[in-house]
A and B are shown apart, each in its own frame.
Chain A
């Protein structure tokens, strides 16, 4: 048996707890049933109970299974064991939530019984798997976020535990299954909430939600495995992240109804719109301390690819992917992009400005991504960085949102290219405005790097 699962069973499951759960939950359901004399109400109470236990409590348990180890000083002991990353990953995911699942399944059984009583038993075939995979996805997402925070050297305090739990809920509940899919398909006009068309195949929305949850659950578990492997000092390479990026691009590509005669620029545009946010996710998801970059450069300089690969930040492949797509879309669309009515439709869908389809805009987009990288690294390379990622997010909000908004409100549209990619008619201005900022960021980074070298008086690494 998985040792981590067994340990959690020892910790969480006792005869008293096994007996207490059905008594308390049964009393609650009986109270709801007797007060209303309605199976409908019992079903709703049970479904709500399932949501609270499996999603809210389950997500918290999934984070705490790691946070408790770190707080108790037993995490290093686990890292010193010979448990392999996969066994540790699923042992923690299922072990940490085992009692929550016991209670949640009691709720789910009651819900199923109530649904059968009111004549909706047939829908349970998809409803139950949706509920189970949904909760698993949120729990895996919570553990994933906890591992990301630990990897970034953050303590898992109450606040960070709540952050991981909340983040997983947002992504799992509202990002993947509940809101995004129906809204995307409805706004696209390619499908209604009841029917979703994906790569030309019409799915019932419930079936598609289940498929989506299963796919994303698979990736969440793969990510938990990878991060766990990192914690257990197994060398990491960026292939899984790249594969996920391509999967996500492909997944959203499926919602576009493009024919063989449609231009490639239009068909690749959603891929770019996915690739750019992924770059920012990669940028913030990993530790950006100066030591990592120092050794990365050292190993690259000495041709030690094996060591360099394991230190390679994930934002590098993401930047390359986004930059390649940006240039490709721009080149393909140079002549006819503005004439596509569909472009406006896509722009409205994503509620954000999209590249105008010209090469200067594509270059500007890349330069803005580099400038933002410079801001993040500058804040992380400081002598005593304090919440550098939060500070970087605030700076980016100010630059993109507040400054851009103020310039627009004040009618100073000539300032806009400084804050938004492609926000001018002149191609030269569109490129020069972010280029100046990138050069400034590089100069500041260089000074920061040299200052650290001087302060540390480090000998060159052997």
Chain B
């Protein structure tokens, strides 16, 4: 879907991105995490061709985004950290302008404006001036502006900053809905609990280098192994060797009745794996993606990777 290859970006005085490579699977929500100054914002800006890296490239499917930035922007959306809206335009005008700016055809424009407003829950504010909206509603308007052309990928830099808990909750619901509609999202945030609500993957960056890219939840695509756990009704010594022998299963750790492992493949593969364990006569009582805290994962990662 979106692939970064050996990105290097320098500022005078320091290297912000240092040989960054990764691939993001379609229809996922990737939480981009890292300490302040890690390079998150620079990475996002390079991914959407707002800044040109010194070396490397970003591919959106078959398109090199820095070779054809205008074409790429038709398929991408970006909400910057310090976003702005046109305070002196109404919500309808803001959305109408962005629809035109993104080249939404005239015959679909009205539906795009109203549909996006509906999706973001601001349909009842169409006649209000953007400057009169609350912070949460402005955030929704900004997201609506960014995605009005129904991009395939949306990148959001600290989208929940400054929002109250209720607004954050509803924003998470919006992200889940966008993903369900087929969009791929990369969300940078410091609020890990919020990211945990909706992220399927974790992309950790530190000192301009990718520390980890892993799945947090099972995905249908199965391109990245999913951390799983199962519980046996009674201890069974066969479980460890059996899991280890199955293709696509890795990192098996057995703790009497509780077993942690990673399983490649999507839901179908997981179903086949569970069926095999049952067929082998193992007393499986629970079988589910591991619900590790994102904060735990993040802190473990940051502790594991010393500053280079």
Contact = CB atoms under 8 A, between A and B. Distances in A.
Interface of A: 1, 3-4, 6-7, 10-11, 72-74, 76-84, 232-235, 289-291, 294-295, 298, 383, 385, 452, 455-456, 458-459, 461-462
A430 to B, nearest CB: 37
Contacts of B102: 81-82
Q: Which of the four size classes fits the interface of chain B? A: 35 or more
Given A233-B52, A291-B10, A462-B55, A73 B15 contact: no
Contacts of B49: 233
Contacts of A77: 80, 83-84, 98, 145-146
A11 B88 contact: yes
A232 B15 contact: no
* Residue of B11, B14, B80, B149 with most partner-chain A CB within 10 A: B80
Contact of B97 (A6, A233, A298): A6
B89 to A, nearest CB: 6
Nearest to A76: B80
Q: Which 10 A-B pairs have the closest CB atoms?
A: A73-B84, A3-B100, A81-B101, A74-B84, A72-B84, A233-B69, A295-B54, A3-B101, A7-B97, A291-B10
Contact of A80 (B6, B14, B76): B76
B84 A79 contact: no
B257 interface: no
29 contacts: A6-B100, A7-B93, A10-B97, A73-B80, A73-B82, A74-B85, A76-B80, A77-B80, A77-B146, A79-B50, A80-B73, A80-B146, A81-B73, A81-B101, A82-B71, A82-B149, A233-B52, A233-B66, A234-B69, A290-B12, A291-B10, A291-B11, A295-B10, A295-B54, A383-B13, A385-B12, A456-B15, A461-B54, A461-B55
Interface string B14-51: 11001100000000000000000000000000001110
A70 to B, nearest CB: 9
Contacts of A10: 89, 93, 97
B263 interface: no
Contacts of B71: 82
* Residue of B55, B93, B103 with most partner-chain A CB within 10 A: B55
Contact of A298 (B15, B55, B78, B88): B55
Contacts of A79: 50
A459 B8 CA distance: 11
B266 interface: no
Contacts of B84: 72-74, 77
A458 B12 CA distance: 12
A458 B70 contact: no
A73 B86 CA distance: 9
A344 to B, nearest CB: 47
Contacts of B15: 456, 458
Interface in B99-114: 100-103
A462 B6 contact: yes
A233 B54 contact: no
B168 interface: no
Given A74-B84, A78-B101, A233-B49, A462 B56 contact: yes
Given A80-B77, A456-B13, A234 B54 contact: no
Contacts of A3: 97, 100-101
B67 to A, nearest CB: 8
Contacts of A82: 70-71, 73-74, 101-103, 149
Nearest to B142: A77
Given A82-B102, A383-B12, 5 more contacts: A7-B97, A74-B84, A77-B98, A295-B10, A462-B19
Nearest to A4: B101
B223 interface: no
Given A11-B89, A294-B10, A80 B78 contact: yes
Contacts of A456: 13-15
Contacts of A81: 73, 98, 101-102
B135 to A, nearest CB: 13
A13 B83 CA distance: 25
Interface string B217-236: 00000000000000000000
Interface string B243-255: 0000000000000
Contacts of A73: 80, 82-84
Contacts of B74: 82
A234 B67 CA distance: 8
Nearest to B74: A82
B58 to A, nearest CB: 12
